[in-house]
Structure 1
């Protein structure tokens, strides 16, 4: 009887500890998300590493709108439609909101994607470049190609430091924010698509 009681106690402690860790992870993520909502806009320089090569890019986010320049391709969302501009092919793909889920850039949703479809685990803490980085492990509740995601959070500034996607085949992709600026002076036409700028481009409209 004592053994059963001991096992039940250990099980209860384990469940309670897990719940507390999950709550702490969710709380930290919510604090980061809440802080980003106070910004008028965000401008980020980032690196993307797939284990074979590392490339850099830039993202500007203002509310639901964003502009991402990455690997020579520009991806813009004006709040209603997505525009993918490929200078190499002289092609522009346009899609309305109903088509944007598969197109949305990871960097543009790095600060909000966690809110649906994940469970949380309080993970390791590291000091990187003098910054205290707390990692949160996110486990997808649906069965897709991603096994788990690690978000590194700068605990002092409450900002995302990096995101690591671990796929079921063992491969990894890492997005690291190299610079993070807020409330910048942006052009009023930054998120406006002007067809006249691309006179010779083929327009692929998915709507």
Structure 2
């Protein structure tokens, strides 16, 4: 077989293998999205760690940042970095306890800065990424299948996203986001609850309460 024929065959096999990997990756994430999205609500306790090899920062050099979030559809209540974020599906309330200030905006947190925000967790992969199956790893006794997501936009602030899926539960276990500055942000889900009994106004801001505590609401 001529070299051109061998090259064409190699490229063809590689293309087919990549397409099959992409299909498997999408199928897995669709299954995860459908399963987790079907819950009435979810509670997620997570930890965040950072690393940047170029800057000499390794994972574990700093203690993890812990946070928690309740999700119901697009609504969420997030406790992160000492602040509270409440999104009721129409307005976003950011509660700064140190300054005793509450800011209100008409939209969810924007993803323009390249960060994957809570309400997009189960759907962000559906647009703007090429998917492929990653490694299967055993982490703390759990079989975690990673899916690699590469942004289609060459100007994206994100170089790569890796989603770790618990093979047994079909839940998201870990998200690793690599930015253009070579830094890695890693979120690990340490606690998960589903279908909790939440009050009707759980995802609403109690303005009266905060005003009585002398908070400023913008």
Q: TM-score, normalised by structure 1?
A: 0.92
DSSP-derived class of the 1:176 partner: strand
DSSP-derived class of the 1:193 partner: coil
Q: Which runs of 5+ in 1 are unaligned?
A: none
The one-character-per-residue Cα deviations of 1:164-183 (angstroms, maximum 9, x if unpaired) are 01112111100100011111
DSSP-derived class of the 2:14 partner: helix
Q: Which runs of 5+ in 2 are unaligned?
A: 52-61
Distance 2:209 2:151 in 1: 41
Change (3 A) 1:21 1:114: same
Change (3 A) 1:108 1:195: same
Distance 2:109 2:69 in 1: 17
Q: What is the match of residue 78 of structure 1?
A: 88
Superposition RMSD on alpha carbons, in Å?
1.7
Runs of 4+ in 1 over 3 A off after TM superposition: 102-105
Q: Identify the match of residue 121 of structure 1 among 111, 126, 132.
A: 132
Question: 1:107 Cα shift?
Answer: 3.8
| Residue correspondences, number | 203
Question: 1:202 Cα shift?
Answer: 2.0
Q: What is the match of residue 185 of structure 2?
A: 173
Of 44-53 and 15-24, deviating more is: 44-53
Q: What is the match of residue 202 of structure 1?
A: 216
DSSP-derived class of the 2:120 partner: coil
Distance 1:131 1:100 in 2: 32
Distance 1:10 1:114 in 2: 29
DSSP-derived class of the 1:198 partner: helix
Q: Identify the match of residue 192 of structure 1 among 204, 213, 218.
A: 204
